[in-house]
Amino acid sequence: MSRRAQSGVRPTHWLGLIAILAFVGGGGFFLMNRTTDPMTGITELSPGEFMENATALSGNEYKIEGVVDDRLDNWRSAEGRLFSLQVSDSSGNNFIPVWVPPDYKGANIQRRQRYIFKVLVLETGVLKVLELVKA
């Protein structure tokens, strides 16, 4: 007696196909949604060192991450905007002023939001914002 050929797709084939599609889809999602730090290679500013002697750091560029606490209102808008940035480190919370020049065309800064700033320490010890990214 001869055997008949098996017709149709077996359930194990369906499971293998679903597993392959899930693997490919997950890998594509990972590659499309991976985030990288746009400020890689920039030295992180130590809040303690900045508070101790800010003018010694003048002329250098640093990266600093923190939460915008508030805008300091005694600063004229025509000269830029001055914000208080809350930075946390091993010694606790520090509030550091950052100055956004009037010609800066980057992201809109909002209170209580976390940002990563690329700053330049001016001769006066003020941190001038060069770039910023919402963290």
Q: Has residue 54 been placed in a domain?
A: yes
Interval 96-122: pLDDT, tens: 999 999 888 877 888 999 999 999 999
CATH number, residue 128:
2.40.50.140
Residue 9: inside a domain: no
pLDDT at 75 over 70: no
Does residue 53 form part of some domain?
yes
Q: Which of 45, 41, 38 is nearest to 119 (CA)?
A: 45
| pLDDT value for 80 | 86
Judge whether 121 lies within some domain. yes
- Say which residues have a Cβ less than 8 Å from residue 55's Cβ, sequence separation at least 6: 123, 124, 125
Per the domain annotation, does 35 fall within a domain? no
Amino acid 125: pLDDT: 87
Parent domain of 119: 47-134
Mean pLDDT of 43-67: 91
Residue 80, domain member (yes or no): yes
Residue 33 lies in a domain: no
Report the domain count for the chain: 1
Does a structural domain hold residue 5?
Answer: no
